[in-house]
Structure 1
Amino acid sequence: MNSVAYVTVDVFTSERFSGNQLAVIPDARGLTDAQMQNIAAEFRYSEVTFVLPPQDPANTARVRIFTPTMEIPFAGHPNVGTAFVLGRQDGIFGRPAGDVLRFEEKAGIVEAALTRDAEGHVIGAGIFAPQPLSLGPQVDSETIARCASIEVRALRITTHVPVIASVGLPFAVAEVTSLEALARACPNTAAFAEAGRRYSPEDDQFALFLYTRQPENPWALRARMFAPLDNVIEDPATGSASGALGALLTSLLPDMDATDEITIEQGVEMGRRSVIGVTAVKSKGQIESVRIAGQCAPVMTGSILL
């Protein structure tokens, strides 16, 4: 293989040059693990996806997700963007895409449903998180404040204390008091390294998802995500973290049964506004499902020399 085709899209936006950038390799057959990692490092997007034939023919494809430094088991915007790209193709490995795609990933099966406009054109997708909500250790407020270069008093702990939350990929999730506090946040790499050693000793990784609620609508949130240990200083849109946050907030409601529609804006401070829709369903006191959805805009096509 001398070259491989790629497509880039902006995810969680309907406008080109906003949202979160994603590169998709629609046919990654023949690529080695090292080549996939090198391609992801070359793009320097938060993630690049590599599409392979499924191991189970009942599924649509096997999807591998790489950051600039490592392969990860699941992420939100790569799945939404990959579904969008494959849904706009004539077929996937000789088969029609259909409106519901099933991706085999390290975290499990990810189901994606395409969304279309009134004329039938694919404009985005919604995915279901592959794992139930899991909560790891609580994170002390001082660690969060050092990582974000903000004061401890800028953190709000009335709803929940900072905690590691995951629906397929773990993040430290913390609420701040205001948009002004959120805007002041700036990642401190040394503090992140210390937090990684303390809270994730197996891989020294630590990613922080900060958010604040809009006073007029508590289900309209603004967020920022920092992962400098993974060469992602700031991410314009983080679907997996948004899903974990939506599940966490819904789980804390007193109702045994609830369905919450949450809108999360991210990337505003970077000039790449993203809009992420999260639907969390709670049944008999347990989170039953988490859906992460958004629109996409195509940007580039080309080939990579190998």
Structure 2
Amino acid sequence: MKGRKYLLYDVFTQDPLTGNPLAIVLEAEGLDAAAMQRIAREFNLSETAFVDAPADPKHKARVRIFTPDYEMPFAGHPTVGTAIALSELAGGEDADEIFVLEENIGLVRCAISRNASGPFAEFDLVELPRQLKLTVEPEVVGAVLGLDADEIGFENHRVGLWSAGVPYLTVPVANLGVAARARLDSAAWQEFAPTGTGGSAANVYVYTRDTHDRDNAFHARMFVAGNPSYEDPATGSAAAAFSGAIMHFDQLPEGPTRLWIEQGMEMGRPSRIRLEIDVKGGRMISARIGGHAVKVGEGQLFA
């Protein structure tokens, strides 16, 4: 039986067995959505990317992204990891390049650069972040995270609901100690949560300006509201949504702002996500998510 080649990458990291693991099925032709869903459930990672020929030959590939439970319009670590994998497969180990991936959200422009730290990929946000209506009180948010109401918020940052294609509840907390104690009571959250991707409750993105590494601007954790709930070690789509909160609360200066977000420390899978925001006339006009990725395995899928 002929197999389909797949790759395993760790994304938003330069070190194997850290960051966010990703499965990439390279030969997805002939697979329908139901088959992709079953394969994603077999890998049982936060996301699996499926690569097929693009609709437009000028583009690099068509990429569909599945969690074990539903398909995503786009996601950060599958985009970064797949972009780097496709560049490496094409023999681009020494050259910088720019190409387009076709994802459900639209055409995603990716740029690959290389230096002594290894390959780095960044992609432009197809949708800029927008603030969504939120009716949940901060006290409720604190309670479902096991935190006191006075531990929610810092400076002028307040709880919000933001989306750049995937919605996230953004929850500022006082410091690293508070972030470390956060635990999502998923059953309780289901009662109050706005709707997220796939019809499930919106996922929760906890952040603080207090960081482990002084070179990073924010420390973050992301909890998936499922049964059971689980934590994600590096979440590019959440960072994309979070860029809206940063712009809203921090009033960024004109021109480009580059900052790093650390995530995954509490899980033993440290990661770093680069976020770039361009401001003109007092508003965000574009933004990019970037990170490293490293190959950790490959094989054949007989399905």
Separation (CA, whole Å) in 1 of partners of 2:78 and 2:144: 26
The reply on whether 1:213 has 2:209 as its aligned counterpart is yes
Corresponding residue of 2:4: 4
Unaligned 5+ segments in structure 2 are none
Asked if structure 2 preserves the Cα contact closer than 8 Å seen for 1:165 and 1:173, the reply is yes
Secondary structure, aligned partner of 2:78: helix
Q: Cα–Cα, structure 1 residues 109 and 231, in superposed 2: closer, same or farther, change >3 Å? A: farther
Instruction: With the length of structure 2 as denominator, give the TM-score of the two structures.
Output: 0.91
Corresponding residue of 1:131: 127
CA RMSD of aligned residues (A): 2.5
Separation (CA, whole Å) in 2 of partners of 1:14 and 1:107: 27
Corresponding residue of 2:285: 288
CA deviation after TM superposition for structure 1 residue 73, in Å: 0.2
Separation (CA, whole Å) in 1 of partners of 2:88 and 2:229: 28
Separation (CA, whole Å) in 2 of partners of 1:79 and 1:275: 15
Task: Look up the equivalent residue of 2:129 and give its one-letter code.
Answer: L
Q: Cα–Cα, structure 1 residues 255 and 78, in superposed 2: closer, same or farther, change >3 Å? A: closer
Q: Cα–Cα, structure 1 residues 43 and 243, in superposed 2: closer, same or farther, change >3 Å? A: same
List per-residue Cα deviations over 1:167-218 (Å, max 9, x = no partner).
Answer: 221111010001000000111111232233x455981321000001027969
Q: How does 1:63-78 map to 2 (within 5 A)?
A: 63-78=63-78
CA deviation after TM superposition for structure 1 residue 15, in Å: 0.3
Q: Cα–Cα, structure 1 residues 305 and 199, in superposed 2: closer, same or farther, change >3 Å? A: closer
Asked if structure 2 preserves the Cα contact closer than 8 Å seen for 1:69 and 1:231, the reply is no
The reply on whether 1:59 has 2:55 as its aligned counterpart is no
Number of residues of Structure 1 aligned to a counterpart in Structure 2: 299
Asked if structure 1 preserves the Cα contact closer than 8 Å seen for 2:10 and 2:21, the reply is yes
The reply on whether 1:203 has 2:199 as its aligned counterpart is yes
Asked if structure 1 preserves the Cα contact closer than 8 Å seen for 2:221 and 2:233, the reply is yes
Q: How does 1:86-165 map to 2 (within 5 A)?
A: 86-90=86-90, 99-118=97-116, 123-138=119-134, 139-156=136-153, 158-165=155-162
Corresponding residue of 1:235: 232
| Amino-acid identity (%) | 35
Asked if structure 1 preserves the Cα contact closer than 8 Å seen for 2:113 and 2:119, the reply is yes
Asked if structure 2 preserves the Cα contact closer than 8 Å seen for 1:84 and 1:122, the reply is no
Corresponding residue of 1:80: 80
CA deviation after TM superposition for structure 1 residue 142, in Å: 2.4
Corresponding residue of 1:175: 172
Corresponding residue of 2:18: 18
Instruction: With the length of structure 1 as denominator, give the TM-score of the two structures.
Output: 0.90
Which is worse superposed, 273-282 or 99-108? Answer: 99-108
Separation (CA, whole Å) in 2 of partners of 1:169 and 1:229: 16
Q: Cα–Cα, structure 1 residues 128 and 224, in superposed 2: closer, same or farther, change >3 Å? A: same
Q: Cα–Cα, structure 1 residues 244 and 60, in superposed 2: closer, same or farther, change >3 Å? A: same
List per-residue Cα deviations over 1:222-259 (Å, max 9, x = no partner).
Answer: 10000132766000000111122133212434466242
Asked if structure 1 preserves the Cα contact closer than 8 Å seen for 2:60 and 2:99, the reply is yes
List per-residue Cα deviations over 1:4-29 (Å, max 9, x = no partner).
Answer: 11100000110000000001112211
List per-residue Cα deviations over 1:30-57 (Å, max 9, x = no partner).
Answer: 1121111111111111100001111122
Asked if structure 2 preserves the Cα contact closer than 8 Å seen for 1:63 and 1:104, the reply is yes
Separation (CA, whole Å) in 2 of partners of 1:88 and 1:203: 36
Separation (CA, whole Å) in 2 of partners of 1:302 and 1:218: 37
Which is worse superposed, 73-82 or 145-154? Answer: 145-154
Q: Cα–Cα, structure 1 residues 221 and 207, in superposed 2: closer, same or farther, change >3 Å? A: same
Q: Cα–Cα, structure 1 residues 300 and 232, in superposed 2: closer, same or farther, change >3 Å? A: farther
Secondary structure, aligned partner of 2:132: strand
Separation (CA, whole Å) in 1 of partners of 2:209 and 2:195: 26
List per-residue Cα deviations over 1:120-151 (Å, max 9, x = no partner).
Answer: x9612111111011110234212321332222
Unaligned 5+ segments in structure 1 are none
Asked if structure 2 preserves the Cα contact closer than 8 Å seen for 1:192 and 1:206, the reply is no
Asked if structure 2 preserves the Cα contact closer than 8 Å seen for 1:24 and 1:50, the reply is yes
Q: Cα–Cα, structure 1 residues 248 and 42, in superposed 2: closer, same or farther, change >3 Å? A: same
Separation (CA, whole Å) in 2 of partners of 1:91 and 1:218: 32
Asked if structure 2 preserves the Cα contact closer than 8 Å seen for 1:5 and 1:26, the reply is yes
Separation (CA, whole Å) in 2 of partners of 1:31 and 1:101: 24
The reply on whether 1:270 has 2:261 as its aligned counterpart is no
Asked if structure 2 preserves the Cα contact closer than 8 Å seen for 1:251 and 1:285, the reply is no
Which is worse superposed, 15-24 or 152-161? Answer: 152-161
